[in-house]
Structure 1
Amino acid sequence: MDAEYRVGVPEDFETEADEAQEVERRVAEVDAAGHGERLDRWLTGLAPEFSRNHLQALIERGCVQVDGRALTKSAHKLRAGQRIEVELQPTDESRAFRAEPMALDFVYEDEHVAVVNKPAGLVVHPAAGNWSGTLMNGLLAHHPAAAGLPRAGIVHRLDKDTSGLMVVGKTLEAVTALTRQIAAREVHREYLALTWGRVEEPLTVEQALRRDPVSRVKMAVAPANLGKPARTDVYPLGVGEVQGRAVSAVHCVLHTGRTHQIRVHLTHRGHPLLADALYGGAPALGLVRQALHAARLGFTHPVTGEVLSLRAPLPADMASAWAGIGASDLPD
């Protein structure tokens, strides 16, 4: 914080900590140098460890009192002699790494690894807009020792609205070994998807990917020298028709694991996923989320050396849509 915003905050301001609620209350009086200063800027001197955005949020929540009256306007101009009391609640980020009991579907688990069948709609990692209620929070409740592991043992992820299998390490040894397997492309991942258009022959999409230069929430194909290599093999499992438009059921095999890889590769070939609003796939067959399911996962157990091959059936929404076009099942 610039020196001008520290002026007017005494070094011996009162502090009262409430450890049970993780709330700290600070009280100070505005001196002559702070006269006319904006409330939010003045608070950055009283609580310099917090960002100005977080302090503004506290003001909006009514956590700041001026002369005993809660103010909710960050731009309020202060007067010398006013008594400021602020309730310093922790940031959302600091609350993220917490255990939250939730029902999780484990298809395999031992003392070293677990494989969870993630439902659509469940966010994997806490992030802006989703600081709680994530898979990571659930794993911390299920396996408290995960608190001592990087990302609670999560070594790869699925998009929020993609369902299916994810492997999680439960020890540092397992996390390290699984991370190395993923980097070496030794973890085998297969998906089922429903796309718009006819896919009647196998196809391979080998296009580098990068962050979309226009929309930062999207990925895009890129020249090889500007993106990261990515390859997806696509196999047809059936073609149906919905309101006069062709819909294909496909089996996708990943050779790399880039963000949004299947979604972008299929869209690039003219086959966006059903209900994938981000990439232009219209909803159909009752689906309200992108029609993508991580159906099969194979890896070498990081401790025993056993080769594991696990499978998760289609969830109800995709199973209904799948049956709606008469598609065949994932081959053995």
Structure 2
Amino acid sequence: MDEIREFLVIDEEEGDRLDVYLSSQLGDMSRSYIQKIIKEKKVKVNNKEQKGKYLVKEDDKVVIEIPAPKLLEVTPQDIPIDIVYEDSDLLIVNKQQDVVVHPAPGNYENTLVNAILYHCKDNLSSINGIIRPGIVHRIDKDTSGLLMIAKNNNAHNSLAEQLKDHSITREYEFICHGVVKEDKITVDRPIGRNPKDRLKMAIVKDGRNAVTHFEVVKRYENFTHMRARLETGRTHQIRVHALSINHPLLGDNVYGPKNNKFKTNGQTLHAKKLGFIHPSSKEYVEFDSQLPTYFQDIINKLK
């Protein structure tokens, strides 16, 4: 059953936005989730529906109807996971290339979520619902590397807030076409849906702010091994920004050349480093991963 919670606004809380006020009262819920409940018209102030921007007043009676948690409908599967770190709050996994992170219509099996459901049982945050339990962020199917999995809602909220504040260290390595002349390049260009192809992202004037810091690791004939540090985390950000400087990723079937002499399974892109403030200890932790075999094999051929 849905849970009904009631609150009475006191003097020092007057003037707060409704969504901010409820966020402070319900510490285990993210503001975005509360905004979703408000949009679903499950919040009333003095028996009247209000929007999230409503400014609460002293003696306002606020009633929120919190939806009952849905039972997970995704089947746990005993699939091997490369676990880099694990504690009671979170899990750091090294995702292999060609593995989908979470189920979607038509693909409800053999995803990372199926595997972590088996491994973690009921110890996963419920914030992202039945399809993406514990998933704080994602990487593309053909991108390998480190991912954070939240085991409880407090950890999820903490990590999501750090992502929002752009304070999480996220470094990727990739191989791109062409020899990059500059040792370091910062690309600060907004990204949004490609108006000519809605399945692609592109540099667009009214897109969301996106900043990527590129650095050369090693130059080869016709290719460059690069490192990228994300300041923001937009869909396909590295791939689109690399294309914008005329150095698309090797193997990128969406944004790069169709001819691929290395026969890769998609873009040569690896999420190598991940660092953040731990939700419980409040100390900075950082994790690194080895370049996967497919990536190292290409480097060996380029040498």
Check whether TM > 0.5. yes
Between the aligned partners of 1:280 and 1:315, the Cα distance in structure 2 is: 21
Larger helix percent? 1
Between the aligned partners of 2:125 and 2:75, the Cα distance in structure 1 is: 12
Residue in structure 2 matching 1:233, options 193, 202, 213:
213
Equivalent residue number for residue 46 of structure 1? none
Task: Describe how 1:54-203 pairs up with structure 2 within 5 A.
Answer: 97-146=74-123, 149-150=126-127, 151-201=132-182, 202-203=184-185
Aligned to 2:136, what secondary structure does the other structure show? Answer: coil
2:287 aligned with 1:313, yes or no?
Answer: no
1:169 maps to amino acid: A
1:206 maps to amino acid: D
2:248 aligned with 1:272, yes or no?
Answer: yes
The Cα of 1:217 is off from its aligned counterpart by: 1.7
2:292 aligned with 1:292, yes or no?
Answer: no
The Cα of 1:146 is off from its aligned counterpart by: 4.1
5+ residue gaps, structure 1? 1-93, 327-332
Note if contact 1:238-1:325 (Cα within 8 Å) is conserved in structure 2: no
Question: What is the count of residue pairs matched by the alignment?
Answer: 227
The Cα of 1:179 is off from its aligned counterpart by: 0.8
The Cα of 1:147 is off from its aligned counterpart by: 5.7
Note if contact 1:276-1:291 (Cα within 8 Å) is conserved in structure 2: yes
Which consecutive aligned stretches of 4+ in structure 1 deviate over 4 angstroms post-superposition? Answer: none
2:278 aligned with 1:301, yes or no?
Answer: yes
1:236 maps to amino acid: V
Between the aligned partners of 2:186 and 2:246, the Cα distance in structure 1 is: 13
The Cα of 1:219 is off from its aligned counterpart by: 0.5
Bigger mean CA offset, 158-167 vs 126-135: 126-135
Q: Percent identity?
A: 37
Note if contact 2:180-2:219 (Cα within 8 Å) is conserved in structure 1: yes
TM-score by length of 2: 0.72
The Cα of 1:112 is off from its aligned counterpart by: 0.7
The Cα of 1:286 is off from its aligned counterpart by: 4.3
Bigger mean CA offset, 285-294 vs 255-264: 285-294
Between the aligned partners of 2:195 and 2:151, the Cα distance in structure 1 is: 37
Residue in structure 2 matching 1:261, options 221, 237, 259:
237
5+ residue gaps, structure 2? 1-70
2:211 maps to amino acid: R
Equivalent residue number for residue 218 of structure 1? 200
The Cα of 1:114 is off from its aligned counterpart by: 0.7
The Cα of 1:238 is off from its aligned counterpart by: 1.4
The Cα of 1:99 is off from its aligned counterpart by: 1.1
Aligned to 2:133, what secondary structure does the other structure show? Answer: helix
Between the aligned partners of 2:73 and 2:100, the Cα distance in structure 1 is: 12
TM-score by length of 1: 0.66
Bigger mean CA offset, 176-185 vs 157-166: 176-185
